[in-house]
A = this chain, B = another copy of it.
Amino acid sequence: MTVYFPEVKKKIRFEGPDSKNPLSFKRYNPKEKILGKTMADHLRFAVCYWHTMKGLGADQFGVNTIIRSYNKAADPMKQAEQTMEAAFEFFTKLGVQFWCFHDRDIAPEADTLAETNKRLDKLTALAKKMQSDTGIKLLWGTTNAFSHRRFMAGAGTNPDPHVFAYAASQIKKAMEITKTLGGAGYVFWGGREGYDTLLNTDMGRELDHMAMLLQMAVDYKKKIGFKGQLYIEPKPKEPTKHQYDFDAANCLAFLQKYKLLKHFKINVEANHATLAAHTFPHELAFCAANGILGSVDANRGDLLLGWDTDQFPTDLYDTTLAMYIILKSGGFTTGGLNFDAHVRRQSIDNVDLFYAHIGAMDAFARGLKIAARLLKDKVLDNAIKQRYAGWNSKLGKDIEGGRMNFEKLEKYILKNGEPTLKSGRQELLENILNEYI
């Protein structure tokens, strides 16, 4: 069998924090138990096919910089098969349990939908076999309804229903193959569902159409018996000037309005959160507070850059707080940590792909362990308990119990006067967090 990553001879192993081997895990020990569950089960790492296998370093100002041996074949289907083989070699050597893909990542588009779907079937069969051979599973599948020129003005929100129909056909097929591959979920990222200018846009009508598309997906899911979780992945802008799924709250508003809430959860991407002027932890906490936290696209943005840099996540503050919120909300069920990240354009070697994933996995392993200690020591829990203690008083309970109104509360104040203020202790909590890191 062809070897596509000869630089890495064998599976990456855990060697502990003192190892100087850059091709080892220093923190991620898949079998280690944390709060009663293995690290692997907590973190449910997935490699994404688009960046890791198909990304070659091109940007808006330059062509590809990266050359991979699995792209050498002249025949596009041959190339697709070799890419799939290389992918599973990579997944296996890295030691992740999951992968994620768009339909168009695994099979090149042909001249007609029928032909394209045949190609997809072929590659799906290959993927299924390789999943079975390796034990690696599909975290989620999705449709690329944004790269082809037909989607330039949207997929579900296109001003032309012909394009809507095309998007629907693509999603139909992508849901089918996701089911075939036993995917634990299916993601909707509306890369072109938004507008470039309000001058030519009927926002209300487009949103209605989007809801219809999602309702059809819900119906079709039921029809084919696909059991995976459906997710919406918010992003505020890019490629369009303004996207409808701006952030988790926008999605929540939309899902409630169109009675779709019970069918969808949110796939939170760190970099999309910051593009929407939220922190990554904020979006996670918002989803947790609203019962819609589903899965995570684990990457990192650059807050001084205004586009999706999709860097590998290495910031320990972010990985710690993310894992803390995820643990507090019960941990992943169908979701996981998908590395929607690509190596920098100058990281042209195969081995850079390994470094990048290893660093990210170690950073999340470290985040998990720190978060578990924070939870166990109840450091933040106690601070919050103490800060909200008043809500356990008679007054607090009466309000929360629905037994108060404006008149009663006014009487309370007329009698009791001013409250006593308490410090928020932000600096102390930040210091404590630092000592845990």
Instruction: Tell which of A254, A278, A427 has the most Cβ of chain B within 10 Å.
Output: A427
Are the CB atoms of B200 and A257 closer together than 8 Å?
no
Chain B residues whose CB sits within 8 angstroms of the CB of A343 once the complex forms: 426-427
Cα separation A434 to B365 with both chains bound (whole Å): 12
CB of A153 to closest CB in B, whole Å: 5
**For window 338-378 of chain A, which residues contact chain B by CB distance below 8 Å?**
343-349, 351-352, 355-356, 358-359, 362-363, 366
A288 at the interface (CB under 8 A from B): yes
CB of A64 to closest CB in B, whole Å: 7
Are the CB atoms of A404 and B216 closer together than 8 Å?
yes
Chain B residues whose CB sits within 8 angstroms of the CB of A303 once the complex forms: 303-304
Chain B residues whose CB sits within 8 angstroms of the CB of A198 once the complex forms: 279, 281-282, 285, 321
Are the CB atoms of B402 and A212 closer together than 8 Å?
yes
Given contacts A388-B159, A426-B199, contact A305 B238 (CB under 8 A): yes
- Size bin of chain A's contact surface: 35 or more
CB of A66 to closest CB in B, whole Å: 9
Q: In this complex, what residue of B is CB-closest to A149? A: B65
Given contacts A159-B390, A344-B426, contact A200 B277 (CB under 8 A): no
* Interface 1/0 per residue, A127-166 and B, CB below 8 Å: 0000000000000000000111111110000011111111
**For window 235-256 of chain A, which residues contact chain B by CB distance below 8 Å?**
236-239, 241-242, 246-247, 249-250, 252-254, 256
Are the CB atoms of A419 and B166 closer together than 8 Å?
yes
A2 at the interface (CB under 8 A from B): no
Are the CB atoms of A277 and B65 closer together than 8 Å?
no
CB of A286 to closest CB in B, whole Å: 7
CB of A260 to closest CB in B, whole Å: 12
Are the CB atoms of B428 and A22 closer together than 8 Å?
yes
Q: Please give me the 10 A-B residue pairs with the lowest Cβ-Cβ distance, nearest first.
A: A306-B306, A346-B424, A359-B431, A204-B289, A162-B419, A303-B303, A253-B253, A172-B406, A168-B409, A356-B427
What would 11 A/B residue contacts be, using CB atoms closer than 8 Å?
A65-B152, A113-B417, A165-B412, A200-B380, A216-B406, A246-B247, A249-B249, A256-B256, A312-B427, A314-B431, A347-B425
